[in-house]
A and B are shown apart, each in its own frame.
Chain A
Amino acid sequence: MPINPFVKMTSTVIKHLLGPTACKMYPVEKPVFFANTRGHIAIETNKCILCTLCAKKCPTYAIQVDKPGKAWKIERTKCIMCLACVACCPKKCLTSENQYSAPVTVKVVETFNVEPPAAPKAPETCPGKE
Chain B
Amino acid sequence: MPKRTIIPFGPQHPVLPEPIHLDIAIRDEKVVEAIPSLGFIHRGLELLVDKKDFNDMCFVAERICGICSFIHGQGYCQGIEEIMNVQVPDRAKYLRTIWAELSRIHSHILWLGLAADAAGFESLFMHSWRVREKVLDIFEETTGGRVIFGVNKVGGVKRDIENDVLKRIVGTLKDMEAEFKPLANVFIDDYSIKHRFSNVGMLSKEDAYKLGAVGPVLRGSGVSIDARKLGYAAYKELNFEPIVENSCDCYARTIVRVREVYQSVDLIKQAVDKIPDGPIDQKVTGSPNGEFFSRLEQPRGEVVYYMRGNGTKNLDRYRVRTPTFSNIAPLVKMLEGCELADVPVIILTIDPCISCTER
Contact = CB atoms under 8 A, between A and B. Distances in A.
Interface residues of B, number: 16
A15 to B, nearest CB: 10
B150 A34 contact: no
B143 A36 contact: yes
Interface in A22-78: 22, 33-34, 36-38, 59
B141 interface: yes
A80 interface: yes
B298 interface: no
A34 B158 CA distance: 17
B237 interface: no
A3 to B, nearest CB: 12
Nearest to A35: B141
Interface in B133-151: 133, 140-145, 148, 150
A108 interface: no
B144 A82 contact: no
Given A59-B52, A80-B148, A37 B59 contact: no
A20 B44 CA distance: 45
Contact of B150 (A22, A33, A37, A82): A82
Nearest to B63: A80
A83 interface: yes
A121 to B, nearest CB: 37
B159 interface: yes
B354 to A, nearest CB: 23
A81 interface: yes
B174 interface: no
A80 B141 contact: no
Contact of A59 (B59, B143, B144): B59
Contacts of A33: 140
Contacts of B144: 34, 36-38, 81, 96
Contacts of B142: 36
B55 to A, nearest CB: 9
A99 B117 CA distance: 34
Contacts of B145: 37-38, 81
A126 to B, nearest CB: 39
Contacts of B150: 38, 80-83
B229 interface: no
Contacts of B133: 22
The 9 closest A-B pairs by CB, nearest first: A38-B144, A59-B56, A36-B144, A34-B141, A22-B130, A82-B150, A34-B140, A37-B144, A59-B59
9 contacts: A22-B130, A36-B140, A36-B142, A36-B159, A59-B53, A81-B144, A81-B150, A82-B59, A82-B150
Interface of B: 52-53, 56, 59, 130, 133, 140-145, 148, 150, 158-159
